[in-house]
Amino acid sequence: MQKLDSFVKMRVRQGIPDPVVVDCRRLLCPLPVIRVQDRVADLAPGTQIEAVCTDPGALQDIPAWCRINGHTVLRTDSKDGEYLVVMRVGGAYEGGG
């Protein structure tokens, strides 16, 4: 939990509103993407999400899923064996395509 706390403190210093945090630690592919996908389904466009993972593959998998589904990756980071993917929910499903 201390590693996640350092990410939270960094966000507070930068004046960024609290995002939705999705805990994907100890999950292996494809579960981090599925966990994020399930959470995004309940969120409004523009909502910021932080996925905290221990699977390094999540740094490629979640951004790829975001590109396919119209969401925006704001940044990725890694620290002490944890990987952070910060994204913003897009409006990909509006307008019927």
Specify whether 29 is catalytic. yes
pLDDT of residue 15: 64
Per-residue pLDDT tens digits of the chain, which is 97 residues long = 556 566 556 656 666 668 999 999 999 999 999 999 999 999 999 999 999 999 999 999 999 999 999 999 999 999 999 999 999 999 844 433 3
Q: Does domain 2-90 have CATH number 3.40.50.300?
A: no
Q: What pTM, to 2 d.p., does this model score?
A: 0.77
Contact 21, 52 (CB under 8 A): yes
Residue from 24, 29, 53, 66 carrying the catalytic annotation: 29
Sign of CA dihedral 77, 85, 69, 44: negative
**Beta-bridge mates of residue 73:** 87
Contacts of 19 (CB under 8 A, 6+ apart): 11, 47, 48, 49, 50, 86
CA-based nearest residue to 25, from 49, 3, 47: 3
